[in-house]
């Protein structure tokens, strides 16, 4: 059974990575970020999570959980004004279509990149902790 400190560490790491990936999603949506800068930023985020996780299975779990929660959080940030201010159904549908067409493409392309970054980061993290 996991101790409270370990659960807080897991929750903190997933929450922090979720906020980071939500920021990537918001950058992608609002600034219409191309695929290459998105891939570079996503690779760096996954690499950092892999270094902190230092275990391949945990790093992959933290990365995928952070990506999924962060993408939904970014989508909620983008669609919140449409639901708060009571926009018409047609405007909301158009906004959600634009959102999912942009984020879907970036999510599918970045999924393998997230895993590569997490695995590479866990190898780097293991080597750093082994030498320390």
| Per-residue confidence (pLDDT) for residue 73, from 0 to 100 | 92
| Per-residue confidence (pLDDT) for residue 132, from 0 to 100 | 64
Q: What share of the chain is helix, strand, coil (3-state, %, to 5)?
A: 90, 0, 10
| Per-residue confidence (pLDDT) for residue 69, from 0 to 100 | 92
Q: Which residue has the tokens 């989508």?
A: 75
More confident: 68 or 132: 68
Cβ atoms of 25 and 99 within 8 Å: the answer is no
Residue 24's Cα: distance from chain center in Å?
7
Q: Which residue has the tokens 């996991």?
A: 2
Instruction: Report domain extents, the chain.
Output: 13-131
User: Can you spell out the DSSP letters for 78-96?
Assistant: HHHHHHHTT--HHHHHHHH
Q: What is the pTM of this model?
A: 0.84
Residue 35 neighbours by CB distance under 10 Å: 12
Distance CA 5, CA 55 (A): 18
pLDDT in tens, 61-112: 888 999 999 989 999 999 888 888 888 888 888 888 988 888 888 888 888 8
- Asked if residue 1 has pLDDT above 70, the reply is no
Sorted by sequence, the CB contacts under 8 Å of residue 47 that are 6+ apart come out as 117, 118, 120, 121, 124
């Amino acid at each position: 059974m996991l101790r409270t400190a370990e659960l807080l560490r897991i929750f903190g790491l997933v929450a922090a990575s979720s906020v980071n990936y939500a920021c990537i999603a918001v950058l992608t949506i609002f600034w219409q970020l191309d695929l290459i800068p998105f891939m570079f930023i996503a690779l760096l985020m996954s690499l950092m999570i892999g270094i902190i996780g230092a275990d391949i299975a945990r790093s992959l779990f933290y990365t995928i959980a952070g990506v999924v929660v962060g993408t939904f959080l970014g989508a909620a940030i983008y669609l919140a004004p449409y639901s708060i201010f009571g926009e018409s159904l047609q405007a909301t549908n158009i906004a959600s279509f634009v959102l999912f067409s942009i984020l879907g493409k970036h999510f599918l392309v970045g999924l393998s990149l997230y895993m590569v970054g997490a695995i590479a980061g866990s190898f780097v993290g293991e080597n750093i902790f082994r030498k320390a």
